[in-house]
Amino acid sequence: MTERIDCDRALAELQDYLRREESPGLTPLIEAHLERCAPCFRHASFERNFLEMLGSRGAGIRCPDTLRQRILDILRRQAP
């Protein structure tokens, strides 16, 4: 493969790549860049940790049981 991307392009796509939402066709180019560029590889670790941290915060918050029951009651009252 001869096509390459530079650091600016790799960093611009980094967060989307970590969310598996990078632009079509760029996956192998980003991966190849991260394999050969130590600074971008370290930057990727930082962004990965940030996104993983964010995904874990508040994830345990649940809809209160009282609200769930209230909604169920309303739905059942409205059912034919």
Per-residue contact track with another protein, 26 to 65, x per CB under 8 A? Answer: -------------x--xx-xxx-xxx-xxx-xxx-xxxx-
What does the radius of gyration of the chain's CA atoms come to, in whole angstroms? 21
Determine which residue in the list 19, 27, 28, 35 makes contact with another protein, applying CB under 8 A: 19
- Closer residue to another protein (CB): 25 or 39: 39
At 33, give phi and psi (nearest 5°).
-65, -45
Q: Does 79 bind another protein (CB under 8 A)?
A: yes
Q: Is 71 in the site for another protein (CB under 8 A)?
A: yes
Q: Is there binding between residue 24 and another protein (CB under 8 A)?
A: no
Sort 67 into a burial class: Cβ within 10 Å, 0-12 / 13-18 / 19+.
exposed
